[in-house]
Structure 1
Amino acid sequence: MSRVAVIGAGITGITTAYNLARRGCEVTVFDRQPYAAMETSFANGGQLSASNAEVWNSWATVLKGIKWMFTPGAPLLVNPRPSWHKLSWMGEFVASIPKYEQNTLTTARLAIEARAHLMQMARDEGIAFDCEERGILHFYHSKAEFEAAAKVSTLLARGGLERRAVTMEEIRAIEPALKGEFYGGFYTPSDFTGDIHKFTVGLARACERRGVTMRLSSEVRSIQHDAGDGIRVSWQPTEGEGQAGLQVDRFDRIVVCGGVMSRQLASRLGDRVNVYPVKGYSITVHLPEASDQEAAPWTSLLDDSAKIVTSRLGSTRFRVAGTAEFNGYNKDIRAARIEPLVQWCRKHFPGMSTRQAVPWAGLRPMMPDMLPRVMRGRDPRVFYNTGHGHLGWTLSAATADAVGALVTARPNAA
């Protein structure tokens, strides 16, 4: 039985650990947080959205980034302060523009595959995560926006996704709570939503039942090649007794699922994984009154012009998320970024109170070409499953299966 270390206890790390345990590996998960799913997997937009598989690599995105650079509440905000990491990442982003169609198709197909894996995990382990299988509705304010989206729908159809155009009247029928005037929209009935934190915590418990060791509150200090054919992980508890003591464990293989820290971890291992931390914001609107619950939508929404997504998480919570901020490893919650989310709620759901809106910010681990990295490192005992960007919740179940197959492949079949 192979001993495998998984670095990271977010959605990617926990789905990876679960898949490896199902394949018969002895798995240990390391994370510096005291609980699973406490960073980027804590309060995202909730959408499991193949319909949002379009990669961002386009000149239109570049121009918007320049235009909005000095607008604090803009959907896309780039801190103009230069750094070599940011500049190299943006250079590779531009270089990936010619692969826009190919990478969008790859992402859509991966997202469609991931659906079945994730729902099977939930069924097998009895995980309740406020899942709503009501589809996702994209809506557009102008003819130009709608026509641009129609081209994306044609591309996604090549990847196997059904996303149909809907009129203003159909938008009203799909989600009666949504207020406003729109040119049209696109509806994807096969997409769904759920609470990423609840799912990841539930799957982490399932991992423990299957024998996975969870080393939480544990900071990985070094990863070294063993004198034999293994990997040594040196780690230090960050809480409780023995906090100062350095511990060492030996493993046959290691999988890096470290989110925005994957770049640093890869560097220690002699690999280059150019993840950049792209900050996203959300608010969770609590709905204590019956009137608030009735005024909030149940269908998941995406407002393309505002770059805002929504999910209903049970009867008493409504998640609203959006924006992309290139500002390094800064996790500060800025009022200027939260206010547009609150105002958007008041505009489109005026009967829903936002007096109990809880803000959050997380760092998405994003690769320049927008594709996750599922691969073997320079050392054949090192593997990566990281760089999912804004689609970690959507793609993780499929990439976990892929990296699980790669880790457990026999040498002559790898």
Structure 2
Amino acid sequence: MTTIAVIGAGITGVTTAYALREQGYDVIVMDRQRYPAMETSFANGGQLSACNAEVWNNTGTVLKGLKWMFKRDAPLLLNPAPTWHKYSWMGEFLYNIRNYEKNTVDTVKLAIAAREPFHRWAKQENIDYDLEERGILHVYQSKKGFEAGIKVSELLAKGGLERSTVTPEEIRTIEPTLQGKYYGGFFTPSDSTGDIHKYTRGLAEACERKGVTFMMDVEVSSIAQAGSKHRIQYISKLTGAPQHPESVEVDALVICAGVGSRKLAAMVGDRINIYPVKGYSITIPLEDEISQTSAPWVSLLDEEAKIVTSRLGNSRFRIAGTAEYNGENRNIRADRVNPLTEWVRYNFSGVSTENAIPWAGLRPMMPDMMPRIQTGKQPGVFYNTGHGHLGWTLSAATAEAVTALVHSSIKP
């Protein structure tokens, strides 16, 4: 049987492992964390959002970024300290403004294609992940923002997604708990929300039942060709004793390691120019009846604030947002978390934020905002990575795509 290593146990790695195993491959999943879904797949905004498929490569985003650069609580923040990686990435980002429309349309198509396998896998493996199929309500604070949203809707429609325009009165009808004043918005009933961590862990357990091997707490130190195979050298972190490199030989490998993919790609002679873009979330335990009835069930996306929400069952409310260009830095900053808390207080005053749990994760972003599903220079090397802020939304489609790519090159 053909053995394939999947490096990375987040949402893209686990969905890839599942898809490969379904096609009859012997699969080994490797990850530096002790459990699956402990990095960017731990506490994201929860939206399965084709309506949020607009890529960021547009002049408006750049101008907002320049305006916000020295505002510590701004939705988008750039640490201006120079590094070659950061500024070369930004140069490529600006270059790809020319591809804004095409990449947005292609991303919408991919997001829609992901829905069927995503929900099918959850049903056949009986995964409980707090799924809410109530749609996503996209709201705008200003007329200018709303009019820009109309143009985005036209691009989304080209990709096959229809979302309806809604008035302030209709916003209140769709989500009666929302207290803030908004100029208008859009509603996408076909989008949904859920807990990425619970889904990934549930699918990982299903993989194990099907015979997938998980090698956790291992740090990959090198990847080299060994005849027709690939030798992956790693250091295990399971014991406190001094560790010596160990290795495993596989027929092929798929790199799905999020922000770690750039380093792994360099080991096999490829350039995958991922930059880590930090995002923050807070998870609010809804511990009393007033908080539970005051929190929304319909998922929201506040365009100007760059904040999204998801209701995770009766007892949790997730709020996420912001983008911070500050390298591979996972520190949680109070001045970045505070806008999320204040947004909740403004829009849902009955929700107690006393015990809000903050979190920060690193989105693996390519300069053109498009995921990389491709082969490497070496035979038997494949990539499924670079999904940016849409890893949760796109994961099932890209897992099937990379599996088809593997299958066209290597039979089980």
Match of 1:87 in 2: 87
Cα-Cα RMSD: 1.0
Distance 2:11 2:292 in 1: 29
Secondary structure of 2:91's aligned partner = helix
Match of 1:49 in 2: 49
Secondary structure of 1:96's aligned partner = helix
Distance 1:180 1:395 in 2: 31
Secondary structure of 2:149's aligned partner = helix
Gap change, CA 1:326 and 1:126, over 3 Å in 2: same
Distance 1:92 1:143 in 2: 31
Secondary structure of 2:138's aligned partner = strand
Distance 1:46 1:85 in 2: 29
Match of 1:393 in 2: 392
Match of 1:187 in 2: 187
Match of 1:247 in 2: 246
Match of 2:363 in 1: 364
Match of 2:374 in 1: 375
Distance 2:221 2:99 in 1: 37
Secondary structure of 2:150's aligned partner = helix
Distance 1:6 1:212 in 2: 10
Superposed displacement of residue 243, structure 1: 6.2
Match of 1:172 in 2: 172
Match of 1:328 in 2: 327
Superposed displacement of residue 366, structure 1: 0.2
Secondary structure of 1:306's aligned partner = coil
Secondary structure of 1:397's aligned partner = helix
Match of 1:201 in 2: 201
Distance 1:243 1:348 in 2: 52
Match of 2:131 in 1: 131
Distance 1:218 1:121 in 2: 27
Match of 2:153 in 1: 153
2:304 aligned with 1:305, yes or no?
yes
Q: TM-score with structure 2 length normalisation?
A: 0.98
Superposed displacement of residue 221, structure 1: 1.3
On the 8 A contact 1:127/1:202 being kept in 2, the answer is yes
Distance 1:192 1:295 in 2: 20
2:407 aligned with 1:408, yes or no?
yes
Superposed displacement of residue 241, structure 1: 7.2
- One-letter identity of the residue aligned with 2:138: H
Which residues of 2 match residues 238-277 of structure 1 at below 5 A?
238-240=237-239, 244-277=243-276
Secondary structure of 2:178's aligned partner = coil
Distance 1:387 1:120 in 2: 24
Superposed displacement of residue 31, structure 1: 0.4
- One-letter identity of the residue aligned with 1:62: V
Aligned residues between the structures: 411
- One-letter identity of the residue aligned with 1:297: P
- One-letter identity of the residue aligned with 1:87: Y
2:10 aligned with 1:6, yes or no?
no
On the 8 A contact 1:72/1:336 being kept in 2, the answer is yes
- One-letter identity of the residue aligned with 1:38: M
Superposed displacement of residue 219, structure 1: 1.0
Superposed displacement of residue 322, structure 1: 0.1
- One-letter identity of the residue aligned with 1:209: R
Match of 2:77 in 1: 77
Secondary structure of 2:94's aligned partner = helix
Runs of 4 or more consecutive aligned structure 1 residues displaced over 4 Å after TM superposition: none
Distance 1:176 1:225 in 2: 59
Distance 1:29 1:410 in 2: 20
Q: Give the unaligned 5+ runs of structure 1.
A: none
Distance 1:410 1:262 in 2: 21
Secondary structure of 2:186's aligned partner = strand
2:218 aligned with 1:218, yes or no?
yes
Distance 1:243 1:51 in 2: 49
Distance 1:280 1:41 in 2: 12
- One-letter identity of the residue aligned with 1:219: E
Distance 2:167 2:43 in 1: 31
Secondary structure of 1:42's aligned partner = coil
1:105-133 CA distances to partner (integer Å, 9 max, x unpaired)?
00000000001110011011000000000
Distance 2:253 2:79 in 1: 34
Superposed displacement of residue 141, structure 1: 1.2
Superposed displacement of residue 246, structure 1: 2.1
On the 8 A contact 1:45/1:282 being kept in 2, the answer is yes
1:230-251 CA distances to partner (integer Å, 9 max, x unpaired)?
1001112112377613221110
On the 8 A contact 1:285/1:357 being kept in 2, the answer is yes
- One-letter identity of the residue aligned with 1:216: M
- One-letter identity of the residue aligned with 1:30: M
- One-letter identity of the residue aligned with 1:300: S
Distance 1:380 1:73 in 2: 46
